[in-house]
Amino acid sequence: MPYELYYWNGLQGRGEFVRLALEEAGAPYVDVVRGSEDEGLGDAAMMALLNSKTEPSIPFAPPFLKDGDLIVSHTANILLYLGPKIGLAPETDQRYVVHGLQLTIADMVTEVHDTHHPIASGQYYEDQKAPAKARATDFLAHRLPKFMHYFERVLAQNPHGAQHLVGERLTYVDLSMFQLIEGLHYAFPRATARFASHYPRLAALRKAVAARPNIAAYLASDRRLPFNETGIFRHYPELDSAGH
Amino acid sequence: MPYELYYWNGLQGRGEFVRLALEEAGAPYVDVVRGSEDEGLGDAAMMALLNSKTEPSIPFAPPFLKDGDLIVSHTANILLYLGPKIGLAPETDQRYVVHGLQLTIADMVTEVHDTHHPIASGQYYEDQKAPAKARATDFLAHRLPKFMHYFERVLAQNPHGAQHLVGERLTYVDLSMFQLIEGLHYAFPRATARFASHYPRLAALRKAVAARPNIAAYLASDRRLPFNETGIFRHYPELDSAGH
């Protein structure tokens, strides 16, 4: 039975981190909300689950994954669950190291979101532009370099070499790092103009992931939606500024 | 060998969620930063690890747990790791359900933090008071009820009864829920004045956790620091407002 991934349609969003892992592994999955209502899929299927009055493990929000009766919610938790099953995580205690890095990525993703929504996630960006500019300025000056310097250190200190964040084989967190770097380049082209000279190992990881056959095929497919201004990574030129 | 917990001294912060689990279980642990420098503990021990140029699994930030050579970072990840070992999590796939709830708590904790630091985590609250008021207002009007209504539903829909968030036994997420509710009451006494009438199951869970012998003993000990204005949950009366 294929995995069922539930996530909002029309954007990459947090669901994309899960899609990249499923696509790299060639694992069978259904992107439920993008499916047809005639087949019991689509938006209504997701809302029915979120609003269920009987399901014991209701998620707070998408993305979530259904595998048989089990519902796993939160991007990082889904990857934790899938990782060993699809060959993208160690089965040793190193899986907690991989998961810790994924949670740091999740924290940074939240901070990226908050550059355009610093006051209220339920209100329009246009109604919080001034604080958004203040938060984005701080993010680009302090937070982005702090996170990226950290991730670059993790690659540099991997005793198996800087090709992967953990160990000597690809794990899902390498794929998520690719997505994070892609998103940052989309949202902040000016601030990331010198990314590769500041973070050479991360830039090399980004290239290596993009060149993997299954990832390249996915990125060229129509399953890969382009970045847009309804997702996490939004290109609002007024929030971007020249990098360090 | 006792678990080594690394977290900033002087506040409950995110470390407190881990402490509650260790204390409930009676598990041996060292609160490293609170220890004496003469014994190789204290702040310097944590900074040495965070700044290590050789350690492969460096954390981005506290809290982190050291168990032998393994370093596990992020509150929710530490609890995921410890849970089955200290008898506070199922060993079945239900552990992913518990972890998903813990990650939702983590998201809410971040939102609580951002009520007093909506623009820049590295700057003083006093320098971001106006956007803090805007964010706190939105948080109390929309986010707090959304999260708490969700957690109340989780209790209501537990087929084993509303005593626990998952299954029929105490898990670490019940303890974390207690801490979250305590913190919200400390930070926002006006907004939470009618908490128990809105969320009776959560209020009962809070009471039941506080009455557990090991938790009660811990709360009465000097290991339990009081809430204060350097932690996540801060009582700034100007950010509080009458609840719904």
3-state secondary structure (DSSP) of residue A31: strand
Closest chain B residue by Cα to residue A136: B119
- Percent of chain A past pLDDT 70, that is, above it, reads 99
The residue-averaged pLDDT of B116-144 equals: 97
Mean residue pLDDT across chain A = 97
Contact yes or no for B80 and A59 at CB 8 A: no
Contacts (Cβ under 8 Å, ≥6 apart) of B220: none
Per-residue tokens: A214: 């299954």
CB atoms under 10 Å from CB of B185, counted, come to: 17
Q: Is the pLDDT reported for residue A244 higher than 60? A: no
Phi-psi region of B87 (alpha: psi -120 to 50; beta: other; left: phi over 0): left
CA B63 to the chain's CA centroid: 11
pLDDT at A18: 98
Q: How close B187 comes to chain A (CA, Å)? A: 18
Contacts of B166 in chain A (CB under 8 A): 56-57
Mutation target among A14, A78, A97 for the B interface, most CBs of B within 10 A: A97
3-state secondary structure (DSSP) of residue B65: strand
The residue-averaged pLDDT of A159-180 equals: 98
Contacts of B73 in chain A (CB under 8 A): 100, 103-104
Per-residue tokens: B200: 């009776």
Mutation target among B74, B92, B94, B166 for the A interface, most CBs of A within 10 A: B74
Mutation target among A69, A103, A117 for the B interface, most CBs of B within 10 A: A103
Contact yes or no for B76 and A103 at CB 8 A: yes
The residue-averaged pLDDT of B70-85 equals: 98
Determine contact, residues B183/B225, Cβ cutoff 8 Å: no
pLDDT at A97: 98
When pLDDT is cut at 50, 70 and 90, the band that residue A242 belongs to is: confident
Determine contact, residues A36/A44, Cβ cutoff 8 Å: no
Contacts of A115 in chain B (CB under 8 A): none
**Domains in chain A, please, with CATH?**
3-85 (3.40.30.10), 94-212+231-239 (1.20.1050.10)
Q: Give the phi and the psi of residue A206 in degrees, each rounded to 5.
A: -55, -45
Contact yes or no for B70 and A81 at CB 8 A: no
**Residue of B71, B68, B69, B43 lying closest to B57 (CA atoms):** B71
Contact yes or no for A96 and B77 at CB 8 A: yes
When pLDDT is cut at 50, 70 and 90, the band that residue B244 belongs to is: low
pLDDT at B242: 84
When pLDDT is cut at 50, 70 and 90, the band that residue A150 belongs to is: very high
Contact yes or no for B99 and A77 at CB 8 A: yes
Gap between the Cα atoms of B105 and B148, Å rounded: 10
Contact yes or no for B59 and A100 at CB 8 A: yes
When pLDDT is cut at 50, 70 and 90, the band that residue A243 belongs to is: low
pLDDT at B243: 65
Mutation target among B3, B51, B60 for the A interface, most CBs of A within 10 A: B60
The residue-averaged pLDDT of A150-165 equals: 98
Contact yes or no for A55 and B153 at CB 8 A: no
**Residue of A161, A164, A157 lying closest to B49 (CA atoms):** A157
When pLDDT is cut at 50, 70 and 90, the band that residue A110 belongs to is: very high
Q: Is the pLDDT reported for residue A165 higher than 70? A: yes
Gap between the Cα atoms of B134 and B239, Å rounded: 9
Contacts of A159 in chain B (CB under 8 A): 56
User: Of B74, B142, B143, which is closest to A103 when you measure between CB atoms?
Assistant: B74
Burial of B239: CB neighbours in 10 Å, binned 0-12, 13-18, 19+: buried
Q: Is the pLDDT reported for residue A163 higher than 90? A: yes
Size of interface A-B (CB pairs under 8 A): 131
User: Of A60, A64, A157, which is closest to B56 when you measure between CB atoms?
Assistant: A157
Contacts (Cβ under 8 Å, ≥6 apart) of B129: B238
Q: How close B197 comes to chain A (CA, Å)? A: 21
The residue-averaged pLDDT of B113-142 equals: 97
Q: What is the pLDDT of residues B193-236, one digit of tens each?
A: 999 999 999 999 999 999 999 999 999 999 999 999 999 999 99
3-state secondary structure (DSSP) of residue B187: helix
Lookup result for tokens 């990098």: A243
Q: How close B149 comes to chain A (CA, Å)? A: 10
Mean residue pLDDT across chain B = 97
Lookup result for tokens 């794929």: A175
The residue-averaged pLDDT of B22-46 equals: 95
Q: What is the pLDDT of residues A190-238, one digit of tens each?
A: 999 999 999 999 999 999 999 999 999 999 999 999 999 999 999 999 9
3-state secondary structure (DSSP) of residue B72: strand
Closest chain A residue by Cα to residue B138: A120
